[in-house]
Amino acid sequence: MDLERRERLAKEIVDIAYQIHVELGPGLFESVYEEVFCIELDKRGIPYKRQCPIDIFYKEHRVEKAFKCDIFVDEMIMVELKSVDQVKKIDQKQILNYMRLAGLSLGFLINFNEVLIKNGIQRFAN
């Protein structure tokens, strides 16, 4: 895995969240933030998959489409988007579990429903 590329992408993800929040602010539906996040990824030429189904293995059995990742950036970073009053502990546990099951080492949980977006961006390393 190219750690330097992954870190560049991580910085782009944070910048995209910031740019969206400056332009649109808090209070919209998650689907709106997901749409504009993907527009920004397209503009920057960053590959991604949206609502990407993830297969997992359970005791040597493949479970197809066990869950969906909101945005899967360049096959290496999971991005889960929220627009809620408060991110719950279960949301944090969920992204860590998703990352583990998908074999990923980096993910972001971004809650756009914050006055300051810096308070809504959580980076997770697995």
Specify the pairing of strand 61-73 against strand 77-82: antiparallel
H-run or E-run covering 36: helix 30-43
The per-residue pLDDT of the chain, averaged, comes to 95
34-77: per-residue pLDDT in tens? 999 999 999 999 999 999 999 988 999 999 999 999 999 999 99
pLDDT at 15: 98
* pTM value surpassing 0.75: yes
Residue 1 has pLDDT above 80, yes or no: no
Residues 6+ apart with CB under 8 A from 117: 17, 18, 21, 22, 110
For each of the domains in the chain, give its residue range(s) and CATH number, in order of start. Answer: 3-125 (3.40.1350)
